[in-house]
């Protein structure tokens, strides 16, 4: 819920109080038919969700990223698409959904974030008045496991009607948001593939001209590093070789002063942009709640700027390729 600051409005009543009242109504007094959500609305939402799940294949970049994640994390909850599975939709009813709604609002952790020029006491009073939930014993969720070791590098090749092949390589890092080495992992990813000056972009895309894009991204709670590129399928083996060369350079600490300083500066600017967005500030704070380590932004920035090449080498030793996934056309061989 976003509302304007009352000091810039002519209003007799508290807009903040009204906003929290509305949120409380939505959360605690949903529209019901008996002891169930209305079936006509449930049916509409199920159909909308089904379409979103099925449309994933239309975005080949997202599809490839989900497929490599599913292959990497078989048997783990993280393998599931965030929207779920179409085969589970038929069993969802208004009554079952309302039962689950009562469960999560009574037993699951609930965190309320408010960002703005507000008085804390006023916010607490409004929440206490309008967000009235019957709470039971709150579940303590176990932390996400990031310790899974890579025993064998896997290759998965999938064929669809595509004009550009997608090469995604998933790595385990053994490091998550709560760990002391997390700032070094951020810098590692930045040097490797996080930015236009990074090794993947420069060596795979610019120098070798093997990819239309070449980047890496972190999943900070699962400890996964994903390298993604769009390639001509005939360049598959060569692209994999050059990507592996960049990983080896990181292990050796073959990082220039320019790469290190530019990465730190870019990361610093990215994190400072959090202060321009209430949503991003909340995301950062909630990462601390989820991980069990509430980092202050200034603390993280100081740690990033203190990262050395030796720190990056230490992180690089823990990064291991788990799954190489190629989404390619239906013609010919690899």
CA 64 – CA 237 distance, rounded (Å): 18
Under a CB-based contact definition with an 8 Å cutoff, are residues 17 and 33 in contact?
Answer: no
3-state secondary structure of 73: coil
Q: Give pLDDT, residue 324.
A: 98
Q: Give pLDDT, residue 145.
A: 82
Under a CB-based contact definition with an 8 Å cutoff, are residues 271 and 301 in contact?
Answer: yes
Joined tokens for residue 250:
């990181």
CA 254 – CA 14 distance, rounded (Å): 59
Q: Give pLDDT, residue 160.
A: 95
pLDDT interval class at 334 (50, 70, 90): low
314: left (phi over 0), alpha (psi -120 to 50) or beta: alpha
Joined tokens for residue 284:
């950062």
Under a CB-based contact definition with an 8 Å cutoff, are residues 220 and 286 in contact?
Answer: no
Within 8 A by CB and 6+ apart from 219, the residues are: 225, 226
Higher pLDDT, 148 or 142: 148
Minimal CA–CA distance to 63: which of 89, 81, 84, 86?
81
Under a CB-based contact definition with an 8 Å cutoff, are residues 89 and 50 in contact?
Answer: yes
Q: Which domains does the chain have, with CATH numbers?
A: 6-130 (3.30.830.10), 154-328 (3.30.830.10)
Minimal CA–CA distance to 240: which of 312, 320, 326?
326
- The arithmetic mean of pLDDT across residues 6-24, rounded, is 87
CA 222 – CA 78 distance, rounded (Å): 8
- The arithmetic mean of pLDDT across residues 150-175, rounded, is 95
pLDDT tens, position by position, 210-230: 889 999 999 999 999 999 999
Length of the chain in residues, anyone?
Answer: 334
Q: Give pLDDT, residue 8.
A: 82
CA 65 – CA 146 distance, rounded (Å): 19
CA 32 – CA 231 distance, rounded (Å): 51
């Amino acid at each position: 819920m976003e509302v304007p600051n009352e000091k810039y409005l002519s209003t007799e009543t508290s807009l903040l109080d009204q906003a929290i009242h509305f949120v409380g109504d939505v959360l605690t007094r949903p529209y019901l038919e008996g002891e169930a959500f209305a079936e006509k609305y449930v049916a509409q939402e199920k159909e909308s969700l089904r379409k979103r799940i099925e449309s994933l294949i239309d975005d080949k970049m997202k599809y490839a990223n989900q497929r490599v994640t599913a292959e990497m994390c078989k048997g783990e909850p993280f393998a599931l698409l965030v929207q779920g599975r179409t085969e589970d939709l038929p069993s969802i009813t208004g009554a079952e959904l309302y039962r689950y709604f009562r469960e999560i609002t009574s037993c699951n952790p609930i965190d309320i974030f408010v960002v703005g020029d507000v008085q804390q006491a006023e916010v607490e009073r409004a929440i206490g008045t309008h967000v009235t939930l019957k709470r039971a014993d709150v579940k303590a969720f176990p932390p996400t496991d990031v310790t899974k070791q890579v025993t064998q590098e896997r290759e998965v090749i999938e064929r669809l009607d595509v004009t550009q092949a997608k090469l995604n390589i998933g790595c385990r890092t053994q490091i998550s948001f709560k760990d002391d080495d997390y700032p070094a992992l951020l810098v590692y990813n930045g040097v490797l593939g996080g930015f236009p000056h990074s090794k993947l972009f420069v060596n795979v895309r610019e120098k070798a001209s093997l990819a239309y894009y070449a980047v890496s991204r972190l999943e900070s709670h699962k400890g996964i590093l994903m390298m993604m590129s769009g390639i001509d399928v005939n360049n598959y083996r060569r692209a994999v070789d050059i990507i592996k060369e960049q990983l080896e350079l990181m292990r050796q600490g073959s990082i220039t002063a320019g790469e290190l300083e530019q990465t730190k500066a870019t990361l610093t600017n990215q994190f400072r942009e959090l202060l321009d967005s209430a949503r991003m500030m909340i995301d950062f704070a909630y990462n601390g709640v989820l991980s069990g380590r509430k980092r202050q932004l200034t603390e993280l920035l100081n740690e990033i700027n203190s990262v050395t090449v030796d720190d990056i080498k230490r992180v690089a030793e823990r990064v291991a390729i788990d799954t190489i996934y190629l989404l390619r056309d239906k013609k010919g061989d690899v």
